[in-house]
Amino acid sequence: MVEKVIPIRLDEGKGLTPSIPGQLIAANTSTKDTRGRPLRDLRISVTDRCNFRCTYCMPKEIFDKDYPYLSHSDLLSFEEITRLTTIFATLGVEKIRLTGGEPLLRKNLEVLVEMLSKIRTVAGKPLDLTLTTNGSILRKKAAALKAAGLHRLTISLDGLNDDIFKKMNDVDFPVTDVLDGIAAAQEAGFTNLKVNMVVKKGTNDQEIIGMAKHFKGSGVTLRFIEFMDVGSSNGWDMSQVLPSQEVANRINAIFPIEPIEANYPGEVAQRWRYVDGSGEIGFISSVTQTFCHECTRARISTDGQLYLCLFANEGFDFKTLLRSDRSDLEIANAIMSTWSARNDHYSEIRGSNTAGSNSSRKVEMSYIGG
Ligand code: SAM
Ligand code: SF4
Ligand code: SF4
């Protein structure tokens, strides 16, 4: 049973006020944080709502009918998201991931995708536009998303056994409907699909081999995510984390695998492939093998707060700036100055926090996006 607390949505949408330097400089891609990391990826949470209640993310006891979700006027509009993303692109951002909550619950999301698909990077290329979804309404949405210009899709699925999956999503949602969503994405022409499986030791780790077998040779890359201590409500403790190395060992014992090179610096997943040539798998080991040193990722919450780390407990209020008469250049300068002061490296220091979990209250993942 999870303790009933009201998880923070920091300062109820107020956040810290970003500072705009007195002397403005031209937007540029060379800003680095205090640890030498540039800004290259942006995750945008388009809704804080979800139709699932995954026990590790939005446990029912807390995300119940009384939960204070954001009201529509608090959400960044598509125009505001597009403007902000355009500014981020002038600062070197090349990759955008739309997330949530469940992003496909945001009405007409394909309209936003189409707006974002027109933005160009500093090098004049389209942004790499991706989306993470629980797949529940993908059958309805896949073709429209593809036509709007979405490049890639990641679908979350924590097992193939219905009882186990239903226990994890906690809303009785069947596996077949997610698999059908994946099929719909393939039919719509999405290639390089990824499936994310959060592994919770003792809850769904018996699904590892079945999942590997199912997606092996299908062209879909399965990625195993270590259960993380995000937010303040999922009752995390280290005993429920199955280290990626152990997942890899279990798979290797049945289907031999070998590591391969990262696609680009800062790639979150470690890539492996089946020795028999039947495809790739990945491991996201945020607990046991931290990757903070190359983390180039910023996050925008549903209500326009800029978060510098998944585990941050405060955000910078860019919604108010966007709704003021500040120019794009002023906002770009505010982002550069916020990023240059960034020192976040939570996963590297997780162990030095209290016994197994973060002592301070962190923002919920459904609000800033995974
Ligand atoms: N609703 C969408 C979905 O589930 O794909 C997008 C948002 S969800 C917050 C993004 C990703 O975060 C999902 O792959 C989910 O499994 C993962 N996630 C959520 N809580 C997690 C936790 N405590 N540890 C590890 N991964 C988590
Ligand atoms: Fe919803 Fe995704 Fe969180 Fe599950 S992981 S509760 S699907 S936002
Ligand atoms: Fe990046 Fe924070 Fe995760 Fe480290 S803990 S990889 S800084 S988001």
pLDDT digits (tens, 9 = 90+) for 64-83: 999 999 999 999 999 999 99
pLDDT digits (tens, 9 = 90+) for 236-286: 888 999 999 999 999 999 999 999 988 877 778 999 999 999 999 999 998
Q: Where are the domains of the chain?
A: 10-368
The pLDDT value given to residue 6: 45
Closest atom of ligand 3 to CA, residue 295: 1
Mean pLDDT over residues 161-189, rounded? 98
Mean pLDDT over residues 297-316, rounded? 95
User: Of residues 50 and 265, which shows the higher confidence score?
Assistant: 50
The pLDDT value given to residue 193: 98
Q: Which amino acid is at 95?
A: K
Probe residue for ligand 3, chosen from 32, 37, 293, 297 as the CB with the greatest number of ligand atoms within 8 Å: 297
**What would the two tokens of residue 278 be?**
């039947």
Atom 6 in ligand 3: which residue has the minimum CA distance? Answer: 292
Q: Are 235 and 295 in contact (CB under 8 A)?
A: no
Closest atom of ligand 2 to CA, residue 63: 6
Give the pairing type, strands 280-284 and 221-226.
Answer: parallel
Asked whether the predicted pLDDT for residue 8 surpasses 50, the reply is no
Could you tell me the pLDDT band of residue 139, with boundaries at 50, 70 and 90? very high
Has this prediction a pTM greater than 0.85? yes
Probe residue for ligand 3, chosen from 344, 348, 349 as the CB with the greatest number of ligand atoms within 8 Å: 344
Least trusted range by pLDDT, from 4-8, 22-26, 128-132: 4-8
Atom 3 in ligand 2: which residue has the minimum CA distance? Answer: 57
Q: Is the CB of 31 under 6 A from ligand 2?
A: no
d(CA 306, CA 15): 9
Can you tell me whether residue 81 is helix, strand or coil?
A: helix
Among candidate residues 181, 177, 186, the one with its CA nearest the CA of residue 146: 186
The pLDDT value given to residue 360: 56
Mean pLDDT over residues 28-57, rounded? 97
The pLDDT value given to residue 246: 97
Mean pLDDT (the chain, rounded): 92
Helix (H) / strand (E) containing 196: strand 194-199
**What would the two tokens of residue 66 be?**
């009384």
The pLDDT value given to residue 356: 40
Q: Is the CB of 291 under 6 A from ligand 3?
A: yes
Q: Which CATH architecture has domain 10-368?
A: Alpha-Beta Barrel (3.20)
144: which strand partners?
none
User: Of residues 354 and 192, which shows the higher confidence score?
Assistant: 192
Mean pLDDT over residues 142-162, rounded? 98
Mean pLDDT over residues 40-46, rounded? 98
d(CA 190, CA 65): 36
Distance 193 CA to ligand 1 centre (A): 16
Distance 81 CA to ligand 2 centre (A): 22
∠ CA 168-268-301, nearest 5°, is 65
